[in-house]
Every structure is written in structure tokens, then in C-alpha cells.
């Protein structure tokens, strides 16, 4: 089932996993949904599109799951930002 992203997501939603499927960043949420983001189609994700496979794999989920950080890239993403500003997301329940 595909659902839409709400304008005001619940603040308690957190990342519980991160992986890549080709050029898609897949963020598992602790409420059972997944965000699938095409790094080629979303300009502000260029840092991931251009990163090596190893740099992409070396990431951490911040305590509480509020953000994902890639130390080798010195860059990260906040889950609330993904939920509220990215319009090219596929959210799967």
C-alpha cells in the first residue's frame, strides 16, 4: 500500500534502518513504513548520488533515529526533513 507524506508528520517517527537499492535511498521507519528516495531525481541528494559504494554504506543512525549521518561525506539527513520537504518520495506501508 502506498500512502502520501503528511504535512505534519508525527514527531516520534524515527529511522530504524537505511539501505540502498541501486540509486534509491531506502529509509525504514520505526512505524513500519519505508521512504524510498531517488537520489538522481532529488537535487539536494547529490552528495549521495556522487558518493562511492563504500561511503554510502558507512553511515550511522543518530540516537533516537532522528537523523542519518555519513561520516566520510560529512553530511546527513534528518527524518523530519525527509517527511516534510521531499515531494519525490515513495512511502510504503
pLDDT at position 6:
47
User: Domain limits of the chain?
Assistant: 2-92
Q: What is the largest CA-CA distance in the chain?
A: 35
Residues 25-77 have pLDDT tens digits of: 999 999 999 999 888 888 889 999 999 999 999 999 999 999 999 999 999 99
pTM of this prediction?
0.80
**2-19 as b/e: b if 16+ CB within 10 A:** eeebeeeeeeebbbeebe
- Could you give the CA distance from residue 76 to residue 48 in angstroms, rounded to a whole number? 10
Q: How many CB atoms lie within 10 A of CB 47?
A: 16
- Is the CATH number 3.30.2020.40 carried by domain 2-92? yes
Cell of 91: 512511502
- Is the confidence at residue 24, as pLDDT, over 70? yes
Amino acid at each position: 500500500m502506498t500512502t502520501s507524506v503528511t504535512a505534519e508528520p508525527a514527531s516520534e517517527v524515527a529511522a530504524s534502518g537505511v539501505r540502498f537499492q541501486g540509486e534509491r535511498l531506502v529509509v525504514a521507519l520505526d512505524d513500519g513504513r519505508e521512504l524510498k528516495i531517488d537520489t538522481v531525481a532529488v537535487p539536494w541528494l547529490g552528495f549521495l548520488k556522487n558518493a562511492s559504494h563504500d561511503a554510502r554504506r558507512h553511515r550511522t543512525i543518530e540516537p533516537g533515529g532522528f537523523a542519518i549521518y555519513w561520516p566520510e561525506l560529512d553530511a546527513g539527513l534528518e527524518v523530519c526533513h525527509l517527511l516534510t520537504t521531499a515531494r519525490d518520495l515513495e512511502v510504503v506501508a
